[in-house]
A and B are shown apart, each in its own frame.
Chain A
Amino acid sequence: MSKVGQIFFRANSRHGLWTIPLLVAICCCAGLAAATADFVSRQNVLNLFAQAAPLILVSIGQMIVILVKGLDLSVGSVVSLTTGILSLNAPVYVTVPAAMLMAAVVGLLNGVAVTRFRVHPIIATLSIMGITQGAAMFVRPSAGGTVASEIVALVSGQLFGIYMPVIWTIVAILFGWKIVHASRFGLHLFAIGGGETAGTFGIAERRNVLAAYVLSSCFAAAAGIFLAGRIASGDPNIGTQYAVDSITAVALGGTQLAGGIGSLHGTLIGCGLLSLIANGMNLLNVSAFIQTVVKGAILLLVIALQPRKNIGL
């Protein structure tokens, strides 16, 4: 295979195959720009960003868990519960720490179930998702309440002429980059995902996996804070889509669900592509039912087409 072919169609590093989704995303942009007049409008680009920002937050956490051969289905319910807690009648300096604490506890429960009790990640996070979703319903049975104005200000408006969603997205990306690609912890995540033998190198497997789940929940809570600010109220169902969407975005970005192979830039591309597809279908007036069908099909297709544990070779 030619050099170009190798770069584009084979995963030559542990970053996974992210070049193809990038090409597809560029094609989508071009197609939508040609097909619809609104796509390149200022309002739509802002919308796209505001849609993608919470997905990016959740997906970074999801990717961290997937790197260590896990999966976190509870992220959506954490998003919902966070908006519920933020819409309680209490000052920001109470609600925000409370939400983060809640997320840390949820992550800890997931992590303990997986590492200590050896429950399969899907089952562990599915049960915890039930518990968290129940709590969200209890805190805010139906959409409503008001979120403190400080939080609304944090996500709408501008800072030095830059829109806040953009700023938060960049902050999250830098933070995620530091964790995944520029720290010992990140390298250890890849090591744990890469094989059974990481422990023999003196890596504390359990502790790192536990930390991955806690991080995932905290990223989900951050997404919840962002969403609560945008809608200025609480909603127990606002996070429902994020479990599937984040897994789809991560897989779309070339991260392998078997663990050990993936990248932050891949995940960003995956989030971008998924948001583009949703945005495009909205612009083209595709019905909500069809949109769900398309998303499900993408997840299946992407996982089916992923090269299995294929590093170079």
Chain B
Amino acid sequence: MKIEPLVQMTSISKSFGGVAALDDVDFQLLPGSVHALMGENGAGKSTLMKILAGVVQPDDGMIRKAGRTVRFASPREALDAGISTVFQEHSLLANLSIAENMCLGKEPLTVLGSVDVAVMEQNARNTLRGLGLNLDPATLVGNLSIAERQFVEIAHGISANADVIILDEPSAALNAADVEILNAQILSLKQQEKAVVYISHRMEEIFKICDTITVLKDGRNVDTVPVAAITPKRLIAMMVGRELAELFPPRPPRREGEVVLSIEGLRLTPDSAPCSIVLRRGEIVALAGLEGQGQRELVRSLVGRYAAHEGRVRIGSRELALPLPEDHGIRILQALGVSFVPEDRKLEGLFLELSLAHNLTIGLHSQHFELAPAGRHRDVIANSIKSLSIKAATPYTPVGTLSGGNQQKVLLGRYLALGADILLIEEPTRGVDVGAKAEIYKLLRAYANAGGSVVVLSRETLELIGLCDRLYVIHDKHVVAEMPAEQATEHAILEAALHR
């Protein structure tokens, strides 16, 4: 028996200003399936999904929904036709409650014409319950954690009673435990005979929950295959068009370099246990552990973005007492050759409207007296673009228009240009495709081999194990274990983190 496809997209083409984003792409979705859409950043995944969601109109091609030809002029029309999207960007409004966010644009009204809060909250509560979430729908979204927000975002997508649900990187901001909950939700959607499109860069999840994989490259179909018939290695090869010998660069043999940074007696809060951390020259050290256990605060307290209770940091021959002043902690550290690369490149890292050249050199400019003439740093810009292989039309392209991987490289390039001896990096590859991930790992390893030292934080434990030399496992705001990366496994880290 042949199952009638729920959505059939045929020969879709779309170009933006002469550049073809999609060229003759076919895509079909079956009911009761989870369909992964894979490809490097810029391969056309987002454009294809935006066309299906009515955000972008195709230049050519046909979309059939349940056998009928459709054309969506707006997201509203697509939603009415049962196609709902959870976009990658956080689109919830912080000043509205969960219920209001979920009902926005289609609020239930009372006989007097005002918004029926009771009905709205009841509906929202039911939807949240259906997903196994126990949140009060009257809570303002601004008061939720990032993971909770992501769940509400998904609940919002699902509450539309849609039969096609597009999830664009839903797990990028989630930790392992939350990903489990998300996966369970996706499987329950599948059982309800809905079609789910799943875009993610995390291989494990793809292989765990998806049925079919469609790979795009440079705006064209590469292939559509059942998950059972493919290996992760083969999938990566299809995405990048070549076999990735290895995602992680080889680790040099261990050597005991001199200590460049040491933290002693650090207590993040008055009631947390003190801990010490040591960083040696030429070494990449990871802070691993479950999310929200204080890894982030630990790194941020080093640059004054988090007020630790007490502690001492020794960098080279300088000794600093924590907490550092918030307004110029970063400058103090930068003067000592320590650079901090924040996690959220869009909000904290990059100046999205400014050019990539500007973003690369702004660190250099900030070292000089404010009224000093600003050098052009043409050589720095050219070198950075070349050595980091940043893909952009010109150095004057606004950095906001680049792909996630290229943005991340620009951010990294800014601190490399400063000639820092130590990098403190949060989430070096968040929302970045496999190809760019491998390049970033290579850059960091090359930096360490050249005598730099790196502290890395990441939600992806496998990344930490593959990239780093040594791991500290953080739990409940202090270090509970230290292990060389060769001996670390996800299991060992989890066990150390849960240490009881």
Q: Which residue of B lies closest to A203 (CB)?
A: B105
A89 to B94, CA, bound (A): 52
Given contacts A194-B93, A203-B105, 5 further A-B contacts (CB under 8 A): A182-B112, A184-B115, A187-B104, A200-B75, A200-B91
Give the docked Cα–Cα distance between A198 and B75 (Å).
12
Q: List 30 A-B contacts (CB under 8 A).
A: A13-B140, A14-B140, A178-B114, A182-B114, A183-B113, A183-B114, A183-B115, A186-B115, A187-B96, A187-B100, A187-B104, A190-B96, A191-B100, A193-B95, A194-B94, A194-B95, A194-B96, A197-B93, A198-B93, A200-B75, A200-B91, A201-B91, A201-B101, A202-B74, A202-B79, A202-B105, A311-B94, A311-B140, A313-B142, A313-B143
Name A182's contact: one of B79, B93, B94, B115 (CB within 8 Å). Answer: B115
Q: Quick one: given A202-B75, A202-B105, A261-B95, are A311 and B142 in contact (CB under 8 Å)?
A: yes
Known interface pairs A200-B75, A200-B87; A312-B143 also in contact (CB < 8 Å): yes
- Min CB distance B81 to A, Å, is 13
What's the nearest-Cβ distance from chain A to residue B488, in Å? 36
Given contacts A311-B142, A312-B143, contact A14 B96 (CB under 8 A): yes
Closest to B120 in A: A187
For A184, the chain B residues whose CB sits under 8 A away are 107, 109, 115
B89, B92, B101, B105 interface centre (most CB from chain A within 10 Å): B105
Most chain B CB atoms below 10 A, which of A194, A197, A200, A201 = A201
Which residues from A are CB-within-8-Å of B92? 197
Name B's interface SS: loop
Q: Of B89, B91, B95, B100, which is within 8 A of A260 by CB?
A: B95
| Chain A residues in 8 Å Cβ range of B112 | 182
Cβ of B76 under 8 Å from chain A: yes
A14-B140, A312-B142 given; A201·B105 CB < 8 A: yes
Complex: chain B residue closest to A16, CB-CB: B95
Would you call B106 an interface residue if the criterion is a C-beta within 8 Å of the partner chain's C-beta atoms? Answer: yes
Taken together as a complex, chains A and B put the C-alpha atoms of A252 and B277 apart, in Å, by: 49
Interface residues of A toward B: which range? Answer: 20 to 34
Most buried by B among A13, A186, A195: A195
Residues 179-225 of A at the B interface (beta carbon under 8 Å) = 182-184, 186-188, 190-191, 193-195, 197-198, 200-203
For A261, list chain B residues within 8 Å (CB).
Answer: 95
Q: Inside 8 A of A312's CB, which chain B residues have their CB?
A: 140, 142-143
Which residues of the other chain, A, contact B115 by a CB distance below 8 angstroms?
Answer: 182-184, 186-187
> B118 to chain A: closest CB distance in Å?
13
CB-CB contacts below 8 Å: A107-140 with B: none
How long is the Cα–Cα vector from A198 to B105 in the complex, in angstroms?
9
Q: Are A311 and B95 in contact (CB under 8 A)?
A: yes
Binding site for B on A (CB under 8 A): 13-14, 178, 182-184, 186-188, 190-191, 193-195, 197-198, 200-203, 260-261, 311-313
- Chain A, residue nearest B79 (CB): A202
Q: How many residues of B contact A (CB 8 A)?
A: 26
Q: Could you give, for residues 49-76 of chain B, a 1 whenever the CB lies within 8 Å of some chain A CB and a 0 otherwise?
A: 0000000000000000000000000111
Q: Do A197 and B100 form a contact, CB below 8 Å, given A182-B114, A187-B107? A: no
> Which residue in chain B gives the minimum CB-CB distance to A196?
B91
A195 and B93 contact, Cβ closer than 8 Å, known pairs A183-B114, A183-B115, A200-B75: yes
Q: How far is the CA of A203 from the CA of B106 in the complex (A)?
A: 9
Q: Is the CB of B76 within 8 A of A202?
A: yes
Chain A residues with Cβ below 8 Å from B74 are: 202
| 3 closest cross-chain pairs (CB), A and B | A182-B114, A202-B105, A194-B93
Minimum CB–CB distance from B169 to chain A (whole Å) comes to: 16
- One digit per residue, 1 when the CB lies within 8 angstroms of any chain A CB and 0 when it does not, for chain B 122-165 equals 00000000000000000010110000000000000000000000
Nearest B residue (CB) for A192:
B93
Q: Which residues of A contact B89 (CB under 8 A)?
A: 197
Residue of B87, B93, B109 with highest tally of chain A CB at under 10 A: B93
CA of A182 to CA of B100, assembled, Å:
13
Q: Which residues of chain B come closer than 8 Å to A186, judged between CB atoms?
A: 115
- Chain A residue at minimal CB-CB distance from B144: A312
**Residues in chain A near residue B76, CB distance under 8 A:** 202
Report the separation of the CA atoms of residues A261 and B140 in the bound assembly, to the nearest whole angstrom.
Answer: 12
Contact of B104 among A178, A203, A313 (CB under 8 A): A203
Which residues of chain B have C-beta atoms less than 8 A from A178's C-beta? Answer: 114
- Looking at the assembled complex, report how far the CB atom of B196 sits from the nearest CB atom of chain A, in whole angstroms: 20
Given A178-B114, A187-B115, A312-B140, A201 contacting B104 (CB threshold 8 A): yes
* Cα of A178 to Cα of B113 in the assembled complex, Å: 9
Report the Cα distance A45→B109, complex, angstroms.
Answer: 39
| Complex-state Cα separation, A197 to B74, whole angstroms | 15
B102 to chain A, nearest CB (A): 10
User: In the docked arrangement, what's the CA distance between A142 and B239, Å?
Assistant: 76
**Interface-central residue, B91, B95, B96, by most chain A CB under 10 Å:** B95
Smallest CB gap from A186: residue in B = B115
Q: Would you give the shortest CB distance from A70 to chain B, in whole angstroms?
A: 16
A21 to chain B, nearest CB (A): 20
Contact assessment for A191 and B114 in the assembled complex, using a CB-CB cutoff below 8 Å: no
Closest to A184 in B: B107
A312 to B113, CA, bound (A): 29
A232 to chain B, nearest CB (A): 37
Contacts of A183 in B (CB 8 A): 113-115
A104 to B95, CA, bound (A): 30
Contacts of A191 in B (CB 8 A): 93, 96, 100, 104
CB-based nearest B residue for A183: B114
Q: Which residues of B contact A194 (CB under 8 A)?
A: 93-96
User: Which B residues lie within 8 Å of A202 (CB)?
Assistant: 74-76, 79, 104-106
Q: B329 CB to closest chain A CB, in angstroms? A: 21
Give every chain B residue within 8 A of A201 (Cβ-Cβ).
91, 101, 104-105
Minimal beta-carbon separation of A256 from chain B (angstroms): 9
Bound Cα distance A55, B100 (Å): 31
Residues of B within 8 A of A200 (CB): 75, 87, 91
Complex alpha-carbon distance, A186 and B115, angstroms: 9
Residue of B nearest to A259 (CB): B95
What is the CA–CA distance of A203 and B74 in the complex, to the nearest angstrom? 11
Shortest Cβ distance from B114 into A: residue:
A182
A62 to B160, CA, bound (A): 35
A54, B109: Cα distance in complex, Å = 32
B150 → chain A closest CB, angstroms: 15
CA–CA, A188 and B106, complex, Å:
11
Q: How far is the CA of A313 from the CA of B141 in the complex (A)?
A: 10
Smallest CB separation, B322 vs chain A (Å): 23
Residue of A nearest to B142 (CB): A311
Q: Can you list, as one digit per residue, whether each of B243-261 has a CB less than 8 Å from chain A (1) or not (0)?
A: 0000000000000000000
Complex CA gap A182/B142 in Å reads 22
* A200: nearest chain-B partner, CB-CB: B91
A200 to B113, CA, bound (A): 24
Asked if B95 contacts A190 (CB within 8 A), the reply is yes
Question: What CA separation (Å) do A200 and B105 show in the bound complex?
Answer: 9
Q: In the assembled complex, which residues on chain A have CB atoms less than 8 Å from the CB atom of B143?
A: 311-313
Report the separation of the CA atoms of residues A183 and B116 in the bound assembly, to the nearest whole angstrom: 9
CA distance A202 to B113 in the complex (A): 19
Determine the chain A residues whose CB is within 8 A of the CB of B87 once the complex forms. Answer: 200
Residue of A nearest to B74 (CB): A202
